A and B are shown apart, each in its own frame.
Chain A
């Protein structure tokens, strides 16, 4: 999985490409914990994310929880297969998905 970060003031866009699975989600968690402090706006670009597992869901939820305290988090361009997972797990109710 590739993680591309674009920072803009206190805003950060993270674009994910590929598979957010048990192994790659660990990298993402590391990135998040490093980047989130001081952030007010976090945007996930999921246009090229094709695959997600429960470990991936956990990290996305973690990001959401962290951002709830200090700002706002949005997920964009979620692919149908991934969206289905968000829906199935009831997570979509708690996320801002555009």
Chain B
């Protein structure tokens, strides 16, 4: 999942959660508010109605009281009988005349005579009429001080002659007068949209009701009021007219005033609020979400994507890509870190590359040293000459050539090209070279050499490498060349200044598949003929426009006159190389350019040996190039000893030759290369029939002629002897001839010795 998707998903979860929490809060808040609003609505309505009722009843009683006071002021009898008459006339329950001292001086109700108004809490309220602060006073319907079991409503109006008259009436009378007012106060009143006010009298008879239930008992509406346990002005719940409702009541002036508000209206109100709030919140949270998304995308995601694009360029191999996101400090630092990491990586890669280059160069050296490189290889042979050259491309390649005498009259020579490049190709080349030589030296027929070598190379060839090869076997006395071509380029035969490809059947490439038949073919060389072998690096050398050197150009070039012998071979290889360089115009070549040239002079042994024995000159020749180090001494002596033994050299001469080789070699190892690390070339030629050994030891070290040193004084006392000179002296003593020459920057020392 992308970081943006993960982030946005979580952001969404959080925003939704925040929305839900907020909605829950809104819900509870709105529920509370609705409840409070409902309560307030109920209380206000109850209060309003109550005030109306009180106002109506106060006014009603005061009006009666004023009438009675006017009659009394007008001289009406204030005795009991007068009062009773007025009681009947005005249909009141009680009339008291109070003097300026607050004492009831006359009353319709004899028990109250002489009652001190100041003695009761309820009655004392009327004393305000005596101190001049009020002329009228009306009380609410309540128990009297004199007789608390009796509830009455009183009003008082001052009299002209001092004191005041107090008029009281009971609930029934009072209600008869004000029910009309009360009904009006409640009848058209709505609480909220669908609520109402219900008023019932002391006896629970409904006085006023929105639905016309007057006269019925209050309980018929579903309301039940217990004044003892239910405080006034507090909300209670009841099923009113089958609707669950919130209610609130006040008991006033002998009336139960009940305000009713159906609960569903409260809920509807609340839900409407919540819906509005919800809509607003959804809008707000959407806005918040969008702003965060845009900011995160702008500040983080887009920058990350930029960095990622650069990184994938880098991992794709483009190490020159630079990350350059500078929109904020963090990304700027990240860019710098990545850039410095990549540049460090580049350095490591460069270092690794140069190390690999060094190792490849080393591998190339090893490879080159495996090929015969001393020319002429057979200086005493005048019946043929061979020269070979390999110019490797920058990389180690898989080309190789080889040649060796299988016996005095049989020269094996070959050229080959291993598929691929690099170390694996070089290693496979070494194996191939060894395998072919092994079978050749075992004396197998040419076809068998290839059949066996092919099977051997296929066996365990996990790397799927293969090689093309052309191998010839020259019979030096007859000029017949038997050869096998395993998928290789056709060699060129140069005869009488005319170059042509050797016609041939091409066999299967080596190391492709086992059990392949190889067929031997032949070409007869005449004295003066030259056979030119090469790899495809020659004909496929190309220049910038990809045109190739090609066969025609090669044949034309080889039709030149190159002279005879080794010189001709060398010239051919050099001029082909030069032509390729000229043709390619310096374009670097990716293939090795390998050539081998064989000149056949014809059999000279008859002429040479005609004066002496006709017996063949059997000679052993070995060439060895080794590091001039003492560790190589025994292998060298081993080779010399073996050759001498093969040639039948007698023991004493053998020891002397070995000693001489050792002295010279150790000298080279110790002194020739002061910097260390040089080679020594040993060319040993041992001839059994002439019983001669000729060993040439060459080194490329400092010029030094050991023979120039004077012989040591043999009579010198032991104490003064220096042994440096004795080695060379012993060599000179033991050998028949020792020659030194400095040639091409090399020390060349030749030892000759014959034995009996």
Contacts and interface: CB of A to CB of B under 8 A. Distances in A.
A93 B718 CA distance: 10
Interface stretch (B223-231, B291-299, B657-665): B657-665
Nearest to A82: B655
B726 A23 contact: no
A54 B730 contact: yes
B604 interface: no
Contact of B730 (A50, A65, A85, A94): A85
A21 B715 CA distance: 23
Given A61-B721, A64-B718, A94-B718, A89 B729 contact: yes
Nearest to B725: A54
Contacts of A85: 730
B723 A61 contact: yes
Given A23-B630, A61-B723, A88 B730 contact: yes
A88 B726 CA distance: 10
Contacts of B721: 61
Contacts of B663: 53-54
Interface in B638-694: 652, 655, 658-659, 662-663, 666
A65 B730 CA distance: 21
Task: Report, nearest first, the 5 A-B pairs whose CB atoms are least far apart.
Answer: A90-B714, A54-B727, A58-B723, A54-B726, A22-B666
B669 to A, nearest CB: 9
A65 B663 CA distance: 23
B659 A51 contact: yes
Given A21-B662, A53-B663, A81 B655 contact: yes
A68 B712 CA distance: 23
Contact of A57 (B630, B658, B719, B726): B726
Contacts of B712: 89
Interface string A32-55: 000000000000000000111111
A55 B666 contact: yes
A93 B715 contact: yes
A81 B734 CA distance: 11
Interface residues of A, number: 23
B630 A61 contact: no
Nearest to B659: A53
Interface string A65-89: 1001000000000000100010011
B630 A22 contact: yes
A61 B724 CA distance: 13
B733 interface: yes
A54 B723 contact: yes
Given A54-B723, A81-B652, A90 B658 contact: no
B557 interface: no
B633 interface: yes
Contacts of B733: 88
Interface in B601-646: 630, 633-634
Contacts of A23: 630, 633-634
Contact of A22 (B633, B652, B714, B718): B633
A93 B713 CA distance: 13
B428 to A, nearest CB: 37
Contacts of A53: 659, 662-663, 666, 727, 730
Most chain A CB within 10 A, of B633, B663, B716, B723, is at B723
Contacts of B714: 89-90
Contacts of B666: 22, 53, 55
A34 B567 CA distance: 60
Nearest to A95: B718
Contacts of B717: 94
6 contacts: A22-B630, A22-B666, A51-B655, A53-B659, A53-B666, A89-B730
B719 A65 contact: yes
A72 to B, nearest CB: 14
Contacts of B729: 89
Contacts of A58: 723, 726
Nearest to A52: B659
A1 to B, nearest CB: 12
Contact of A90 (B630, B715, B719): B715
A88 B730 CA distance: 8
B639 to A, nearest CB: 16
Contacts of B630: 22-23
B289 to A, nearest CB: 89
B664 to A, nearest CB: 11
B658 A89 contact: no
A89 B637 CA distance: 23
B641 to A, nearest CB: 11
A10 to B, nearest CB: 22
A55 B718 CA distance: 15
Contacts of A64: 718
A71 to B, nearest CB: 15
Contacts of A81: 652, 655
A32 to B, nearest CB: 15
A87 B123 CA distance: 173
Contact of B658 (A51, A93, A94): A51
A57 B730 CA distance: 11
Contacts of B716: 90
B726 A89 contact: yes
A10 B723 CA distance: 29
B727 to A, nearest CB: 4
Nearest to B733: A88
Residue from A53, A55, A65, A85 with most neighbouring chain B CB atoms (10 Å) = A53
Interface string B721-745: 1010011011001000000000000
Nearest to A54: B727
Given A21-B633, A53-B663, A57-B726, 19 more contacts: A22-B630, A22-B662, A23-B630, A51-B655, A51-B659, A53-B666, A53-B727, A54-B726, A54-B730, A55-B723, A55-B727, A61-B718, A61-B721, A61-B723, A68-B718, A81-B652, A88-B730, A90-B715, A94-B717
A64 B718 CA distance: 8
Nearest to A58: B723
A53 to B, nearest CB: 5
Contacts of B655: 50-51, 81
B718 A65 contact: yes
A57 B662 contact: no
Contacts of B633: 21-23
A58 to B, nearest CB: 4
A91 B712 CA distance: 12
A48 to B, nearest CB: 14
A68 to B, nearest CB: 8
A23 B665 CA distance: 12
